[in-house]
Amino acid sequence: MTKNKLNIKLRRTEVADLDNFFQFQLNKEANYLAAFTPKDPTDKTAYLTKYTKLLSDPTVNNQTIIVDNVIVGSVAKFIMEGDTEITYWIDRNFWGKGIATKALKNLLEIETTRPVFGRVAFDNFGSQKVLEKCGFVKIGADKGFANARQTEIEEFIYKLA
Note the pLDDT of residue 84.
98
Verdict on whether the full-model pTM lies above 0.75: yes
Note the pLDDT of residue 137.
98
Q: Please tell me the class of the 3-118 domain.
A: alpha beta
Q: Average pLDDT per run of 10 along the chain, which is 161 residues long? A: 74 98 96 94 96 96 97 98 97 97 98 97 98 98 97 98 97
Q: Domain extents for the chain?
A: 3-118
Note the pLDDT of residue 5.
77
Note the pLDDT of residue 1.
46
Note the pLDDT of residue 4.
57
Q: Which residues of 115-143 are buried (b: 16+ CB within 10 A; e: fewer)?
A: ebbbbbbeebeebbebbeebebeeeeeee
